[in-house]
Structure 1
């Protein structure tokens, strides 16, 4: 299973007296008979300077000089992502993830080198030359049992990001976090503010794009107390509306989460529903274009965040939660990233996620407006609608039957049909600004509203000619 490129690299290192170990997630992948995506190699027995000299012809790029990691260009490694380092001791000297003092020691044993690693399943060393595994902290057993356990409590607390690594790793590699590790993470919550926003974003990306059931990681986030660091989600699991006096009389009918009408949501509160929807989205994400997957998954996570601010008892109505949810979801994402396309797509999914249901019997113009509002991505909205509808245990986003009867999910079906008809291109406007100028109208504040009125008419009746649309634009009276 070891690629020849990696074997050749190990042979090169061995010829200089070094011993090479595969470390980190690659060892887990090897144990599960999966091909590693990343090849992290730790080299023992030679100095940093000597290692750099050996690798010189391979044009390595040193990443984070203080951490002593050499990244080999994938173009020279047959497309493989290979990082090479030597063992080191780390001592925290500040609150930033870069505030570590590193002591490189090529003579360090694997047992000692593993102490700085976050979890036991990541503290295993695979001897590439012999195929043997050095496992000083019981990572193999924990991997088999599905337990995520910290390696060394004293070193673990030095980096608060490890709490969020636990979130995504328990969902991807394990089943549960062991109690002692959970309590240690609970005690680290006050350090959340020291984590760089881009690092938080990366851990959520791993959770949402790589876990079969992201709900496992999100549930852990609640269990360890770190959900409070994300108030938009926290308010779904612990509804602030219960603090309002007028809602006290209904407490006995619901749990602590943002309440749902049990007739429409027998699965439970908004948080529980969200967990189901996120898992549904993960089950279909491979069908989503790669450039849209992250936004699709974040949309699933955030689609109902507006309900915490709009839910009214006793009927559990949440009118307008889709619109209010846009600003709330943007607030969540703005604290992590500047990726405008992701934020825009998430905003659209949150804003319009209820629309397919309301357009089951709508006219053509209504669907064309939704096509434009969604930036021509009704296919995303179709899958999203299915995942939301299936946000309860007995349903699936692959609806074929319900209760043994033939079932056709009309809202998503219509999204897919209209996407096929309209494609991914904007609807071409028949009337343009130059036509207004040719008709003698001067550009001004009313120019755009006139064109918009003509376009709205075009959407409702595509048979209208340009002269007819021009007449509509000229006669348009703006509302005062």
Structure 2
């Protein structure tokens, strides 16, 4: 276990800590920055809890010497400083008490005279309650977080405070995935009770989305989190995913098991192909999570005992939109995922059929071939078939064709557009769509240049 947090603190933070100490404040590093440093995970977010002080006025004056400071809710007593690529959150020591179902329905009491142990009780898990005192070069661990971290155990701190925020169920799920932990039995049971009591229905979709985002972007084995999601009964809130459990597949192509098992294997594969572009990686992960949502609607067993799921790609569109709408209102994001679901088999189909360049061109009009090939590769390798080499061969072939034509990312651009028809003397009408499709077909099928296509348009539509 790595524990030399002191040598890894940004110099600007050390200066701020010294400034705070000079005016009588006791600053303690808390939360994720301490936990991650112990695991030797780089971190640019630092939370500092402030003791021996009751207002932030003097703290704000100090911080403003370093950059622009934002205050988050006077009642919460939090100041945020973004500087040199780091995010610093400074918060007064406080107690919290739930007074309603909403995530803002907490009564917050700041108290500079609290001990670190008292203040730590509002936190969720022991591994997130470890503090670090820079000046004494000492870890503060009132809840046994260091032991749990060493033993890879996720354990809650206090029954009464833990159940006050149902988001902690999703936090448990993403922590299990990110840090590959085992969940303590009592913590598991508390989470399950919250699910069974329908506490999760009060959570805003945005908060749930953020926890899934951390799971996807920071875990090497997302399947660990999703298996816990299933075991806790959370799938009742996502019927589209629930339907995958027990949905059988053909043993030749999917010896690993049902659609749920396969889907989780594809997520673990996707974790190997992360691009570093968070937005892109996120919609690719969701495309894989949703890629077989159509199978429960069309899976059948033939007289010969084979299992088929014809047209599951197209049938997956509606449940994908339904599922994603439970998590986000961002239509553009959903529009990125849907065509990847609808076409996820296409690269492999093109390769097997030894399709022409025309087919690759047409595919590029539907979605990014680069994106689609990542989804297709993770889908192909996310199973226990023996001949996985064919996955790489198929994807390499499709990508090579697309890259040679410079259409792997943005897709084929139609060279004849509406303004060209107007320039020919045509008046905008419903017929424009048919004419432009005619032009695109000539561009793809005949590889004609723009002038040749315009000539063909005049002969066919203006003669």
TM-score under structure 1 normalisation?
Answer: 0.87
Once the two structures are TM-superposed, the CA of residue 85 in structure 1 deviates from its matched residue by 0.6
Once the two structures are TM-superposed, the CA of residue 56 in structure 1 deviates from its matched residue by 4.6
Structure 1 45/443 Cα, relative in aligned 2: closer, same or farther at 3 Å? same
1:26 equivalent among 33, 38, 54: 33
* Matches of 1:86 and 1:191, distance apart in 2: 29
- Name the structure 1 match of 2:314: 323
The answer as to whether partners of 1:276 and 1:393 remain within 8 angstroms in 2 is: no
Once the two structures are TM-superposed, the CA of residue 449 in structure 1 deviates from its matched residue by 1.1
* Matches of 1:136 and 1:2, distance apart in 2: 23
Structure 1 469/414 Cα, relative in aligned 2: closer, same or farther at 3 Å? farther
Whether 1:262 and 2:245 are equivalent positions in the alignment is no
- Name the structure 2 match of 1:243: none
Once the two structures are TM-superposed, the CA of residue 338 in structure 1 deviates from its matched residue by 2.6
Whether 1:460 and 2:445 are equivalent positions in the alignment is yes
Once the two structures are TM-superposed, the CA of residue 316 in structure 1 deviates from its matched residue by 2.5
* Matches of 2:345 and 2:109, distance apart in 1: 56
Whether 1:300 and 2:323 are equivalent positions in the alignment is no
- Deviation string 1:80-127 (CA, Å, 9 cap, x unpaired) is 110001111101111111110011111111111111100010011111
Structure 1 407/329 Cα, relative in aligned 2: closer, same or farther at 3 Å? closer
- Name the structure 2 match of 1:352: 343
What is the DSSP-based 3-state SS (H/G/I as helix, E as strand, rest coil) of the residue aligned with 1:48?
coil
Once the two structures are TM-superposed, the CA of residue 200 in structure 1 deviates from its matched residue by 0.8
Structure 1 475/390 Cα, relative in aligned 2: closer, same or farther at 3 Å? same
Structure 1 46/362 Cα, relative in aligned 2: closer, same or farther at 3 Å? same
1:409 equivalent among 363, 371, 392: 392
* Matches of 1:443 and 1:412, distance apart in 2: 41
Structure 1 130/471 Cα, relative in aligned 2: closer, same or farther at 3 Å? same
- Name the structure 2 match of 1:222: 230
Whether 1:364 and 2:357 are equivalent positions in the alignment is yes
Once the two structures are TM-superposed, the CA of residue 342 in structure 1 deviates from its matched residue by 2.1
1:274 equivalent among 259, 263, 268: 263
For 1:73-152, list aligned pairs within 5 A. Answer: 73-74=82-83, 78-152=84-158
* Matches of 2:279 and 2:400, distance apart in 1: 22
Alignment RMSD: 2.1
1:195 equivalent among 179, 188, 203: 203
Once the two structures are TM-superposed, the CA of residue 411 in structure 1 deviates from its matched residue by 2.5
- Aligned pair count? 443
The answer as to whether partners of 2:360 and 2:402 remain within 8 angstroms in 1 is: no
Whether 1:384 and 2:375 are equivalent positions in the alignment is yes
Once the two structures are TM-superposed, the CA of residue 317 in structure 1 deviates from its matched residue by 1.4
Once the two structures are TM-superposed, the CA of residue 322 in structure 1 deviates from its matched residue by 0.8
* Matches of 2:37 and 2:278, distance apart in 1: 26
List runs of 5+ in structure 2 lacking aligned partners.
1-7
What is the DSSP-based 3-state SS (H/G/I as helix, E as strand, rest coil) of the residue aligned with 2:9?
coil
Structure 1 stretches of 4+ moved >6 Å: none
* Matches of 1:438 and 1:196, distance apart in 2: 51
Structure 1 394/307 Cα, relative in aligned 2: closer, same or farther at 3 Å? closer
Once the two structures are TM-superposed, the CA of residue 3 in structure 1 deviates from its matched residue by 1.8
List runs of 5+ in structure 1 lacking aligned partners.
238-256, 396-401
- Deviation string 1:167-222 (CA, Å, 9 cap, x unpaired) is 11111124221111111111112011110111011001001111111111001001
- Name the structure 1 match of 2:45: 38
The answer as to whether partners of 2:254 and 2:385 remain within 8 angstroms in 1 is: no
Structure 1 106/459 Cα, relative in aligned 2: closer, same or farther at 3 Å? same
Structure 1 60/464 Cα, relative in aligned 2: closer, same or farther at 3 Å? closer
- Name the structure 1 match of 2:4: none
The answer as to whether partners of 1:92 and 1:158 remain within 8 angstroms in 2 is: yes
